[in-house]
């Protein structure tokens, strides 16, 4: 694999890139990072709807950010991707990947020909018919990533890998921080929230929830008849609290719109705990712009009865020449996905 690669986080409202050198070493180097906004409608829930527009934005990102490598890693992680438990007969990984279409055809939401399949091994055990490998079946609808790849190609770049965003989050966070027991890593994006529960840094469970910070923006726009910038400002100015008599209209909308996501997250963590009682979840790590709503972390902690933990996804990487490590950390996890994608280029 190349010495330098760029992880690209293609979000609904913007592009973020992190260029990493020597990703396979114990302490890789972040040599560049940058972000730029995207026009509304160019990307819809993680899927590129306007390849030419996004290609132009990628060229601008490369120019403004000074990226040198043309090799990129893309992420997939929306309602058209999933990860499910799967046990397969013990065999080499190459053979497992070759047989996946035949093993899981009946489990897929689309025909095999329309799906991208992969298998993430977790551990081995003795099954009824002999040794087995337990892991996660990863499925993505091809159509969901074709626009992203097309935009990259139009920009003169090469997609060397497509990775699941929850894996990227776990890779970045768990390389830099050690946790006691299983931890739920929750990344709240604009349109999708990813949940990956890890044990000793190894993903055990993944869920993608089709909701995020953008739903709150839409709720405020519709409920108050305001534009998107005003709704975004209201999100930052308000605090998520318990319903109270005499609360403002915007506070009531925020509580109602956020409640569905909070309940989904609680139910997801509870499902894992109930199905894997031997692996207790000990805490939650939050990332993503949607998690920055004041009071969101506290509300999630109270609902799940789990502590909200802190983590530094950049603790395991070194800032390169000209990269301000403090400024990078001050982005408050905005580049976690892009970093994790770049770090996985040799995994």
pLDDT score at 57: 97
pTM (global) more than 0.85: yes
Q: How confident is the model at residue 1 (pLDDT cuts 50, 70, 90)?
A: very low
What per-residue confidence (pLDDT) applies to 244?
Answer: 57
- Compute CA distances 127 → 74, 87, 88, 216, whole Å: 35, 9, 9, 46
Cβ atoms within 10 Å of 1's Cβ, excluding its own:
12
pLDDT tens by residue, 157-197: 999 999 999 999 999 999 878 888 999 999 998 889 999 99
CA–chain centroid gap for 189, Å, is 8
pLDDT at site 346: 58
SS3 annotation, 141-187: EHHHHHHHHHHHHHCCCEEEEEEEHHHHHHHHHHHHCCCCCEEEEEE
Burial (Cβ within 10 Å: 0-12, 13-18, ≥19) of residue 333: buried
pLDDT tens per residue across span 205-246 = 999 999 998 899 999 999 999 998 898 888 877 777 766 555
Superfamily of domain 4-79+144-176+312-344: ATPase, nucleotide binding domain (3.30.420.40)
Instruction: Write out pLDDT tens, residues 286-308.
Output: 988 888 888 899 999 999 999 99
Least confident of 151-155, 234-238, 241-245, 253-257: 241-245
Q: Do domains 4-79+144-176+312-344 and 213-308 have the same CATH topology?
A: yes
**pLDDT higher than threshold 60 for residue 271:** yes
Q: What is the CATH number of domain 81-141?
A: 3.30.1490.300
What's domain 213-308's architecture?
2-Layer Sandwich (3.30)
Q: What is the pLDDT of residue 246?
A: 57
Q: Is 342 helix (H, G, I), strand (E, B) or coil?
A: helix
Q: Which two tokens stand for residue 190?
A: 């604009």
Q: Where are the domains of the chain?
A: 4-79+144-176+312-344, 81-141, 213-308
d(CA 31, CA 9): 17
| End-to-end Cα separation, the chain, in angstroms | 10
Q: For 184-207, b where at least 16 C-beta lie within 10 A, e where not — what string? A: bbbbbbbbbbbbbbbbeeebbbbb
Put residue 58 in one of left, alpha, beta given phi > 0 → left and psi -120 to 50 → alpha. alpha
pLDDT at 42 over 70: yes
Q: For the residues 84-102, what does the mean pLDDT come to?
A: 93
């Amino acid at each position: 694999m190349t010495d330098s690669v760029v992880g690209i986080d293609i979000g609904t409202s913007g592009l973020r890139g992190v260029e990493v050198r020597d990703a396979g070493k114990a302490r890789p180097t972040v040599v560049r990072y940058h972000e730029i906004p995207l026009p509304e409608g160019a990307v819809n829930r993680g899927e590129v709807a306007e390849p030419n527009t996004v290609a132009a934005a990628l060229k601008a990102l490369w120019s403004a950010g000074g990226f040198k490598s043309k090799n990129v890693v893309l992420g997939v992680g929306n309602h058209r991707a999933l990860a499910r438990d799967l046990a397969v007969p013990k065999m080499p990984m190459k053979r497992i990947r070759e047989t996946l279409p035949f093993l899981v055809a009946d489990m897929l939401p689309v025909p095999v020909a329309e799906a991208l399949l992969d298998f993430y091994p977790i551990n081995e055990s003795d099954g009824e018919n002999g040794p087995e490998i337990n892991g996660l079946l990863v499925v993505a609808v091809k159509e969901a990533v074709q626009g992203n790849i097309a935009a990259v190609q139009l920009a003169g770049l090469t997609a060397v890998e497509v990775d699941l965003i929850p894996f990227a989050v776990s890779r970045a966070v768990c390389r830099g921080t050690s946790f006691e027991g299983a931890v739920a890593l929750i990344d709240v994006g604009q349109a999708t929230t990813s949940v990956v529960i890890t044990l000793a840094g190894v993903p055990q469970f993944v869920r993608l929830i089709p909701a995020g910070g953008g739903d709150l923006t839409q709720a405020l726009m519709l409920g108050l008849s305001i534009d998107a910038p005003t709704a975004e400002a209201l999100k930052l100015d308000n605090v998520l609290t318990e319903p109270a008599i005499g609360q403002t209209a915007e506070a009531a909308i925020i509580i109602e719109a956020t409640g569905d996501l909070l309940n989904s997250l609680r139910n997801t963590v509870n499902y894992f705990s109930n199905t894997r009682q031997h692996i207790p979840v000990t805490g939650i790590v939050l990332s993503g712009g949607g998690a920055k709503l004041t009071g969101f972390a506290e509300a999630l902690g109270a609902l799940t009865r789990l502590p909200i933990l802190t983590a530094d996804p950049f603790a395991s990487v070194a800032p390169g020449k000209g990269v301000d490590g403090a400024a990078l950390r001050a982005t408050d996890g905005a580049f976690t996905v892009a970093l994790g994608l770049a770090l996985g280029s040799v995994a």
